[in-house]
Structure 1
Amino acid sequence: MASTPASDPTNTARRDGNQDDSPSPPPAAPVPLTPGPRASRLQQVFSQALLHTIRTNSYANFSSCFPTPAKHVPRSLESVWRQLNAKLEESAKAEFDDILHERGVVRGLNELDRLVGEAKHRRENGEGANSVPAHTLTAKELYQAHLTPILAKAQSSLDSQTEEVQRKNIQLASKVESQKQEIQQLLASLEAVVGDIEGAVESMREFDADDVLRKEAEQMDEEIRPSRPS
């Protein structure tokens, strides 16, 4: 019977050397869902824009559109103003969160942060574009290498959607301002009518201090009432 040949140390070293030359890359870390730098910056910009919009609708501007309620029931008017701003802020945040969730914005921007960080690290260490053999990359890493333009397109789309939301907010604010002006004109007309009525009553009182005309009118009404058809 032929004996089994002993293992050759040279062959073993050669195999070990080949494994060192082309090591299997470790699996990529999962993308965190906690907002990274770009996602946090996006949320910060949105919060600043929303805060600026709400501050524009200050109580001074709001109450100037409703002078009569502001004079007689300021607390009620201030309560309405606070509720309006709170509702506007709540609706805007809810719609923004829905967009982030539906588009997977946080995950995409975090992945973009990771790719940019890896690129900077390779550049700082003097690694060229072909420093990593392509055959050592996993399918996931190859997929992620082509992901940057897709993420850039997604970010561009998100920017366009954000601009569209801002444009609609501006149109909505303009519509609200127009309605406020109409309400203000209506209140002014109502105040003028009330003033005319008060002036007529005052003139009647000056002309008929003893209410003679009123008494005569009441007497005539009493006389005519029985003759009216039932």
Structure 2
Amino acid sequence: MASQEAVGPPPSKRWTQFYAALQLAIQRSAHKWTYKDFSECFPLWCEEQPNGAEGVFNTVSSFIETHIVTNTNKLFEQYDVQKNVDILHQVVTEARARRQRGETGDSGTGVDSWRADLQPRAAVRARTIPALERERDSLRARLAEMERENMELYEEVRENVAAQDRAEVKTAEIFAFFDEIYAKWRDLPLEDMQAWTLLTAETQSAVNPLP
């Protein structure tokens, strides 16, 4: 197996025994279907070509065993099974050694030492509450940052609205000025002005005739 060939400490006794038992179980499973069972499925072929049939049977059995072993090893590598089993073996071995030495959880040898009076909920809280508090602080900091950004956006929007209001007021003043000019122009005596303009032009022509 690839994990057994990797450079590092030798595999634990627990892993060696587990892997050996697994290999034995795979072999028994792959060869549980005997040649007798195979010949009962293909009696005529096994009778006419016993050597060929037996060869095919052995090939199929070997393929099944190899296929199971290969896929099992892939799963072991994917989930790092040997490392976890070795860690479990180390934990169990250390716990047995402490028990033989008469050590208990009250000895203060480690933060994870078990105590008989330690309730599961208290142990869970000791692990989860600090993590939750860190997450809470992170969320509070993020919320404060978002509030600051929102205030900046609010001020920017308010300034834009005020500028738009000023522009609308200025535009209204300009349109009012144009309306006033148009009203005054409309009230002018246009016909009299045209007649006066024509009379002035004729008088000017009479006084200063064209050469």
Name the TM tier (shorter chain).
Answer: 0.3 to 0.5
Between 1 and 2, higher relative CO (CA 8 Å, sep ≥ 6) is seen in 1
TM-score (norm 2): 0.46
TM-score (norm 1): 0.42
User: Which protein is bigger by CA-based radius of gyration?
Assistant: 2
